[in-house]
Amino acid sequence: MRQLAATRAQSAKPSSAANGVALSPLGPPLAKLDFDDAYRRFQLPAEALEDHDRRFELWDRRTRTALEVREPTSPYHERPSQMLAALAERIAAVRGHPIRCFGTMDLTVLGADGKPARIMQADQSLYLHPQRANIVGPTAMVVGENHCPDVVLEVDRSTDVRRHKLKLYEAWRFPEVWVEVPDDAPKPCRARGATIYLLDNGAFREADESRAFPGWRTEEIHRALNENRLSEHTVAILERVGAALGTQEGTGPDDDPLLRSQRQQAQAETLASELAHRAALVRHILISRDMNVAGDFPLHEPAFAQADPKVLAEAAMRCADEADLLARLRCGVRRQN
């Protein structure tokens, strides 16, 4: 944190919202944010911040206050954020360009002295273009200096981010916030489901589908975040969204190293199977003509793989020996081309 303050002290002036960089006002004062009894407040002065485990929802330097959710960490709360990272990875593979997830990194606003004045943490933070995520240090995104995430996820149950954290995301000009109430959340404070908030003209509005992930609708997102095992329906949607992103950027599955390698391997296996089938056909014809055939003949010959099946069968029926067969195949391939 000292390094962060030192490197930012000379550039603490807030920058504009152009090019996806969020503005850097602190947002509403803590007293105006409706953090209810679901949160525990405790004193955390700035000088103790560096040694703290940083597991809080919000920290405010002026009031020396940090807030954390009273409810202990549970699988229902952690699973959606981890699931979103896995879903984004699948979408990125189809798009052919990586998507980077930063999890609960610090979303930091600096004061006039270049030191952190307010820190908030989301449950998941996604960058569709990782090269824009010029994060200083391993865990800090500085509002007003770094590009803000394309999507942040908040998982709700006993809390309601609409009454507090959403106001800060709006003040900081974050473009898109998802709020998820999981299906397995016991006694949720609001209806189960996903809600998307898009920033338009400086204010959030609810939307039926994502702007960052074109065509991905709230009900589809909620279902995907809650499936124990991805359904064919969800996989098809992820492929659709990834393809839409790829179309926008001129990329596709062959630009993803893993999918490209798998496709090349599948093509090689298909070719090997086809060559084996052709070899069996030729051997059968030659043996029926009482001709001797070498064990590996003629898999090594390029013309054997390139020749039309009719040319292959005719050459096997008419050849005098193996050398004549290869000559006929080469001649047939030249006529094909």
**Residue 281 above 90 pLDDT?**
no
Mean pLDDT over the full length of the chain? 84
How far apart are alpha carbons 243 and 94 in whole angstroms?
6
CATH topology of domain 2-30+73-254: tt1808, chain A (3.90.1570)
pLDDT of residue 158: 61
**Residue 150 above 90 pLDDT?**
yes
How far apart are alpha carbons 46 and 60 in whole angstroms?
9
Q: What letter would DSSP give residue 24? A: -
pLDDT of residue 16: 45
pLDDT, tens digit, 9 for 90 and up, residues 70-109: 676 667 778 999 999 999 999 999 999 999 999 888 999 9
The radius of gyration of the chain's CA atoms, rounded to the nearest angstrom, is: 30
pLDDT, tens digit, 9 for 90 and up, residues 256-271: 888 888 888 888 888 8
Using alpha carbons, list the distances in angstroms from residue 169 to 2, 120, 149, 301: 25, 9, 11, 65
pLDDT of residue 135: 62
Nearest to 325 by CA among 271, 295, 301: 301
How far apart are alpha carbons 6 and 110 in whole angstroms?
11
Please name the residue that has the structure tokens 């020749």: 307
**Residue 170 above 60 pLDDT?**
yes
Do 91 and 65 contact (CB within 8 A), yes or no? Answer: no
**Residue 272 above 50 pLDDT?**
yes
Q: Using 50, 70 and 90 to split pLDDT, how confident is the model at 169? A: very high
Beta-sheet strand order (sheet of 39-43): 39-43, 65-69, 58-60, 116-121, 106-110, 140-142
pLDDT of residue 50: 84
Tell me what the mean pLDDT of segment 216-237 comes to. 96
Could you give the percent of the chain with pLDDT greater than 70?
85
Tell me what the mean pLDDT of segment 310-321 comes to. 88
Q: Using 50, 70 and 90 to split pLDDT, how confident is the model at 179? A: very high
Does 19 or 300 have the greater pLDDT score? Answer: 300
Task: Record the pTM.
Answer: 0.75
Do 70 and 40 contact (CB within 8 A), yes or no? Answer: yes
Nearest to 149 by CA among 204, 104, 119, 203: 104
Residue 274: CB partners within 8 Å, gap ≥ 6? 305
How far apart are alpha carbons 297 and 279 in whole angstroms?
7
Q: Where are the alpha helices (DSSP H) in 62-149?
A: 75-95
Domain layout of the chain by residue ranges: 2-30+73-254, 257-336
SS3 category, 161: helix
Q: Using 50, 70 and 90 to split pLDDT, how confident is the model at 251? A: very high
**Residue 191 above 90 pLDDT?**
no
